[in-house]
Structure 1
Amino acid sequence: MLDSATTQVIGPIPTRSPGRRRARGSGVLISGLLALILIGTALFAVAPLRRPLPAPAVTRAVPASMTIPGKAPVVPWPETGQAALMVEGVGSLGRSGGSKPVPIASVTKVMTAYVILTEHPLKRGEHGPKLTVSKERAAAYPAEQSRSESLVPVVAGAVFTERQALQAVMLPSANNMARILAEWDAGSIEAFVEKMNDTAAALGMTNTHYTDPAGYDPGTVSTADDQVLLARRAMKLPAFAEIVAQKQATLPIAGVVRNYNSLVGQDGVVGIKTGSTDEAGGCLVFAAVVKVGGRKVTVVGAVLGQPGANTPVQLARVFRVTRPLVRTAAAAVRVHPVVRAGDQVALVQGPLGAVTTLNATEDLNVVGWPGLRVRLDVDVPEVPARLPAETEHGRIKAVAGGVVSAAVPLRSGVELAAPSTWERIRRHR
C-alpha cells in the first residue's frame, strides 16, 4: 500500500509530433541537395581552371619566298667557250657554254696553291717554311725552257720560302715552281696530283680531273662552274687572297716578277689566275670586290676557252670578255628591301580570342638584283599567354643563294593579355 504523503500524480508521457519529424527530415534533405548543387557548381567552375591553356597560335603573314622586282640584268656572256658568274653570299648570275670538261691550262695552279695552303697554312704577310731546289728540278729547267713553258729561273740549292714559291706559281705562272712545291709537299708529283683530285672530289667538283700540278698537260680538265666553286673556297684563305691580288713580287734569282693578270687593280679586280695553251685557249678565274650599301661584296667568275693564235692574243681576248662581266655584276648588285619596318610578319592568336601581331622592327634588306629569288624564314619561339606590347619576340631572315644575307627582330603590336579566371570559366560553359 502506497504512503499517501509521497504519492505523485504522473500524467501521460508527451510524444513528438509526426509533422515536425517530417519537416526536419525535409530540411536536411534540402540542405544536402543545396550542398551538392553548390559543390557541383564549384567543381564545374573549377574544372576549366585545371585544364592548361594551349599556347598561342602563330600564323605567318609573309610568303615563304619572293622575287626581287624589276628587270633582271642582262649578262654579256662571251660568244665562245664557257663562263660562270657568282656573287659571294648572294647567288649565281648564271653561266654559258655548257658544262663539258675542257682543258684549263694554268688555272690548274689555283688548286695547287689551295692544297699547299691547306696543308701548310700561312698568315697574311707570313713567309712560312723554306724549301730548297733539288739538283733534279734544276736539271729539268733547260728542257722545260725548250718547250716554251712559263717558268722562273732556278738553280740547285736555291732557297725559296713557301710564300715566294706560291708567288712564283700564281703571278708569273711558273710551271717549274708548281712541280717543286708538289714534290716538297707530297714527295712526288704523282702523290700530289692524287691529293688534288681528292680535294676536288671533297669540294664537289664533279667535272674536274687533274693530271699535273701546273696545267701544262691538256689532260687536266674542268668547267667554269667547278673553277668558280674552287675559287670561292681559295679566296677565303688570307694568304691566297693576299698573293693573287699582288701586281708584282721579288723572288730569289728571278728578281721582280709581274702578275700575268693585267686586270688586277682595275674595276675592283683582286685576282685570281690566268691560263693559256693551244688546247685550252685563254682562261681566267677572277674575283672583284664591289661596295654595295656600305658593305663589300665579292664577285667570282671564270672564263674558259677563248680563242687566239698565242698566249698574248688568248689573254687579251679573255680580258676583253671578262671586263663586261665584272662591270655588269657590279652594276646589278644593289640593296633591296624585301620587308619594310612595321610590316606585319606574323599573327598571334591567344587561346580565348586575344590577338596581336609580330612586326618587323626595321627594313629587311638584301643585297641582290631584280629577278633574284629570296627565301624568307620566320623564327618565332613559343609565345607566352601574356606578351606585353612592343616586346621583341622572334625574327625574320632573308636567305639568298643558301646564305642568310640579313635578319631583323620582330616586335609585338598590342598587348596579348592572359585570360582572367572569369573569362576561362565563362568561355567553357
Structure 2
Amino acid sequence: MDRSTEAQTVVFSRIPPTPPATPSPPVKRRRRTGLLVSLIVTLALVLAAGLYAVAPLRHPLPGPTIELALPATLTIPGKTPKLPWPKSGQGVIAVSGLGTLGAFGGEKPVPIASVTKVMTAYVILAEHPIGAGEQGETLTVSAEQAARYPAERARGESLVEVEAGEEITVRQALQAVLLPSANNMARILAAWDAGSVDAFVDKMNATAEELGMADTHYTDPSGLDPDTVSTAKDQVILATKAMALPAFAEIVKQKTATIPVAGEVKNYNELVGHNGVVGIKTGSTDEALGCLVFAAVVTVAGRKLTVVGAVLGQPGAQTPEQLDRVFSVTRTVLKSTTKTLAPHTLVEAGRDVATVHGPLGTGTTLRTAEKLEVIGWPGLKVKVEAQLPVVPSQIAAGTEHGQLSIQAGTGKATKTALRTSTDLVPPSIWQRIRHHQ
C-alpha cells in the first residue's frame, strides 16, 4: 500500500498542471469588420456624391431667351426742316405714306372757294364709279338748268356753256367741274345724283365726317358760297383719298379736255405738267382769296413719292393775282420739299439687334445682315419691328435667324435678315455639375 501510494504520488508529481483555457484574441475578425464598415461608408459616400452630381442632369435646361436691343421707334437724326411758307394764309404739305412734312397758319376754318369741287367730284365718283378711261353714265341738262346760264354768267361765275337737252357723260361733266371750274356743272351733277342740290350737300358733309375732316362744312357744291369752309389739313386728307381714284387722278392731270357744247376747256391749274405736278384744284373768291390743293410725283433715290398739299388764303386784288400768288408759293414750297426728302440709314449692317441668353451663361447675339434705310426727313419717326422665332438650344455662328424691319408711316417696310454672331452650344456635363456646386 505504502509503495503504491508513493509511486502513485511520484507519478502525479511528474505531470504538470493543465492551465485554464482562455479564448483567442479576435484581432483578425475586428480588422475584417472595420474594413467592411469602411467599405460601406465609402460606397455610401461615393453613391451620395454620384447622386449629388447626377441630380442636376436629371432636370432639363431652360430654353434660350431673347433680349431686344433696339427701341420700338427710331427718329431720323438731324434738324427738323423748315419750309419757306408765306406770311399769311395757311397750308399743309404731306408725303403720301410718310406723313405731314410741314404746316403753317393754324387750323381755323376758312372759305375755300372752288377747292370745294374736289369733294363734289369725290362724292360723284363714290356714287357712280368709273374706271380708267371710262365715260360712265350719261346725264341730260334740263331746260331749267340751261335757262339759268345767262344770270350765272352775269354774276361773273366760272361756268361752261350748256344747252337744254344736252347729253354729257359723268367723265365729261367732271372734266368741266375740275378743269375750268364750272359752278353750273357742279350744281347739275349734284341735282342729278341726289335729286336736289341740298340733298347732295348733305352727302358732302356726311362724307367729310366719315373721312375725319372735323373742321369742314359744306353749304354748296361749287364753293361760291363763303359759308363753305375748311382747313388746309382737312383738304389734304380729302385730296389724298381723291387721288387714289384712277378716274379722278386722270382728269386733274389733264391740261385740256373737250366736252359737248362748250368744246375745248382748259385747266386753271397752270402748275400741272411742271415740277411733277399732277393736279388738283384751284379756287379764288374775294372771301377765300387764292387757294390751291395740289399733288406732285417726285423721285427720290429711284423711288417715286406723291406729295400732297394745300395752300389757302393767298392775297391778291382779283382772281389772276390771287392764283399767281398761290402758284408762286406752291412752287417754292414744293421745291424745298423735294430737296428735303432723302434716304437715311437708320440701322447699319452688323448692328447688334438682340442678345440671346442661354442657360449657365451661354449665349450669342443677333446682328443685321444688311443696312436698313428709309426715305424721309430729319425728325420723322420710324417704326422698328423684329421678328424673332424661338431660338434652338444649339445654333451655329452666321446662321440666319429672324429679321428686322423699319417702316416710315404707312409706307413699304424695309427688311433685313438677322444672323448669329457666335456659336450657341448647350453647357457641358462638367459645367452643369460645377454650376450646381
Shorter-chain TM-score: which interval? 0.7 to 0.9
Q: 1:74 aligns with which of 56, 77, 82?
A: 82
Q: Indicate which of 227, 233, 244 corresponds to 1:225.
A: 233
Match in the other structure for 2:20: none
Which one is further off, 96-105 or 194-203? 194-203
- Partner residue of 1:306? 314
Describe the SS at the equivalent of 1:265.
Answer: coil
Give the drift of 1:82. 0.6
Determine helix, strand or coil for the equivalent of 1:300: strand
State the 1:327 CA deviation. 0.3
AA of the residue aligned to 1:201: E
Matched, 1:242 2:256: no
Q: Which residue of 2 aligns with 1:381?
A: 389
The offset of 1:34, in angstroms, is: 4.7
Q: Which residue of 1 aligns with 2:184?
A: 176
- Within the candidate set 54, 73, 82, 2:63 is matched to 54
* 2:204 maps to which of 193, 196, 203: 196
Q: Which runs of 5+ in 1 are unaligned?
A: 1-16
Amino acid at match of 1:57: I
Show the counterpart of 2:140.
132
Structure 1 match to 2:4: none
Structure 1 partner of 2:5? none
Structure 1 counterpart SS, 2:361 = coil
**Match in the other structure for 1:316:** 324
Take 1:260 and 1:325, find their aligned partners in 2: how far apart are those partners? 20
- CA–CA separation in structure 2 for the residues paired with 1:408 and 1:101: 45
- Percent identity over the alignment is 59
Tell me by how many angstroms 1:48 deviates.
Answer: 4.4
Contact 1:92–1:401 (8 Å) recurs in 2 = no
**CA offsets per residue over residues 387-419 of structure 1, 9 Å max, x none?**
332232233232334655533232222222234
Contact 2:63/2:392, CA 8 A, preserved across alignment = no
Q: Verify: 1:330 aligned to 2:338, yes or no.
A: yes
Q: How far apart, in 1, do the equivalents of 2:409 and 2:261 lie?
A: 46
- Specify the alignment match of 2:425 in structure 1: 417
The letter for the 1-side match of 2:154 is S
Once residues 390 and 126 of structure 2 are traced to their aligned partners in structure 1, the CA distance between those partners, rounded to angstroms, is 43
Structure 2: segments with no counterpart, 5+ residues: 1-25
State the match for 1:9 in structure 2.
none
Q: State whether residues 260 and 274 of structure 1, in contact with CA within 8 Å, keep that contact through their aligned partners in structure 2.
A: yes
Q: Deviations over 1:195-252 (max 9, x none)?
A: 2111111111111111111111111100111111111111111221111111111111
CA distance in 1, matches of 2:307, 2:381: 18
Q: Give the drift of 1:186.
A: 2.0
Query: What is the letter of the counterpart of residue 427 of structure 1?
Result: H
Check the 8 A contact 2:158/2:183 in 1, yes or no. Answer: yes
CA distance, structure 1, for counterparts of residue 106 and residue 60 of structure 2: 64
Q: Which amino acid aligns with 1:59?
A: L
The one-letter amino acid of 1:203's match is L
1:69-97 deviations in Å (ceiling 9; x for gaps): 34443311011111111122223222111
Given the alignment of the two structures, is residue 272 of structure 1 paired with residue 301 of structure 2, yes or no? no
Any conservation in 2 of the 1:90–1:405 contact (CA below 8 Å)? no
Deviation at 1:364, TM superposition (A): 0.8
Quote the Cα distance in structure 1 between the aligned partners of 2:64 and 2:424: 12
Query: Judging changes above 3 Å, is the alpha-carbon distance between structure 1 residues 381 and 137 closer, same or farther for their aligned structure 2 residues?
Result: farther
Shift of 1:57: 2.6
Amino acid at match of 2:59: R
Determine if contact 2:66/2:354 at 8 Å carries over to the other structure. no
**Counterpart of 1:393?**
401
Q: Quote the residue 1:4 is aligned against.
A: none
Taking a change above 3 Å as real, the CA distance of residues 124 and 418 of structure 1, as seen in their structure-2 partners, is farther
Partner Cα distance (2:405, 2:196) in 1: 49
Which residue in 2 is equivalent to 1:372? 380
Greater CA drift, 407-416 or 293-302 = 407-416
Which stretch shows the higher mean deviation, 160-169 or 139-148?
A: 139-148
Contact 1:89–1:405 (8 Å) recurs in 2: no
Q: In the alignment, what sits opposite 1:289?
A: 297
Q: Does 1:98 align with 2:106?
A: yes
1:106-121 equivalences under 5 Å are 106-121=114-129
Deviation at 1:149, TM superposition (A): 1.3
Residue aligned with 1:416, SS:
coil
Q: 1:217 to 1:295 in 2, by over 3 A?
A: same
Once structures 1 and 2 are overlaid, which stretch shifts more, 264-273 or 390-399? 390-399
Give 3-state SS (helix, strand or coil) of 1:323's partner.
helix
Check conservation: 2:56, 2:432, Cα contact below 8 A. no
3-state SS of paired residue (1:260): coil
Equivalent residue, structure 2, for 1:363: 371
- Aligned match for 1:87, one of 82, 95, 100: 95
One-letter amino acid matched to 1:226: D
Match of 2:54 in 1: 45
Q: Indicate how the Cα distance of structure 1 residues 37 and 150 shifts in structure 2: closer, same or farther if over 3 A, else same.
A: same
One-letter code aligned to 2:369: T
Choose 1 or 2 for highest CA Rg. Answer: 2
Which residue is equivalent to 1:7?
Answer: none
Q: 1:143 and 2:151 equivalent?
A: yes
**Whole-Å separation in 2 of the counterparts to 1:131 and 1:407:** 51
Measure, in 1, the Cα distance between the counterparts of 2:78 and 2:417: 27
Moved more, 259-268 or 417-426: 417-426
TM-score of the two chains, using structure 2 as the length reference: 0.85
Q: Provide the C-alpha distance between the structure 2 equivalents of 1:383 and 1:123, rounded to a whole number of angstroms.
A: 50
